[in-house]
Amino acid sequence: MIKRLIFLGPPGAGKGTQAKVLADQWQIPHISTGDILRQATKDKTPLGQKVESFMSGGELVPDDLILDLIRERLQEEDARKGWILDGFPRNVHQAEFLEELLAELHQHADYAISLEAPDDVLVDRLLHRGRNDDAEATVRRRLQVYQEQTAPVKAFYQQHNRLKVVNGDRPPEVVSGAIAQAIA
Ligand code: AP5
């Protein structure tokens, strides 16, 4: 069966961790817009140079820099047998774009999984990880941006009856089990 999942949830909730587990298990691509953008900044590509200041400030990168990238990535050969999106869509405009793109490709997302945990847990996890955008002020800004722009995406998938909320404040293997149960 073709599997197509979207991971939503605040920074530090474990989207990347859980998406990787499932992608390995199902042998489908784990498409993380954050990873793609971080690689672009590392390689100093024109895209990377444009997005660096947004990322280091904890702001979303402008939609026009992300949408074409997703359009191209979902049309690559390996994405035919399914995909897991991690960090996209990040606002309602991106969610609407994705719906239209998937209709064009004769695909649909099976579920949007919102992984959730309290803010103090998220901040603690990220400060211990230490990525470039994990300084405390930036983490707080990322959480605020999540509440303002990304949390409404949950309502979008709820309206489409595709939302599954999973408590991410448990050991990783327990969270994996809860996700498997939610989408069974
Ligand atoms: P992105 O890379 O998507 O970052 P994020 O959403 O802030 O998420 P994180 O990677 O911090 O957390 P996660 O939920 O994946 O948790 P993880 O598994 O890593 O985006 C970064 C930036 O890119 C954005 O700010 C924006 O600028 C830009 N961007 C990306 N996509 C965009 C888009 N679509 N539009 C516009 N801009 C975009 O885990 C975190 C830590 O917790 C790890 O150390 C992990 O080991 C640990 N951990 C995980 N699970 C558990 C657990 N169950 N128990 C204990 N520890 C755990």
9 Cα nearest atom in ligand 1: 14
Tell me the best of 36, 125, 128 to mutate to test the pocket of ligand 1, counting ligand atoms within 8 Å of each CB and taking the most: 125
Q: How far apart are CA 58 and CA 71, in angstroms?
A: 24
User: What are the boundaries of each domain within the chain?
Assistant: 3-183
- What is the phi-psi region of residue 82: left when phi exceeds 0, alpha when psi lies from -120 to 50, beta otherwise? left
Percent of the chain scoring above 90 in pLDDT: 99
Q: pLDDT, tens digit, for every residue of 101-143?
A: 999 999 999 999 999 999 999 999 999 999 999 999 999 999 9
- Token pair listed for 57: 């400030």
For β-strands 30-32 and 82-86, DSSP reports them as parallel
What is the pTM (predicted TM-score) of this model?
0.97
**CATH class of the domain at 3-183:** alpha beta
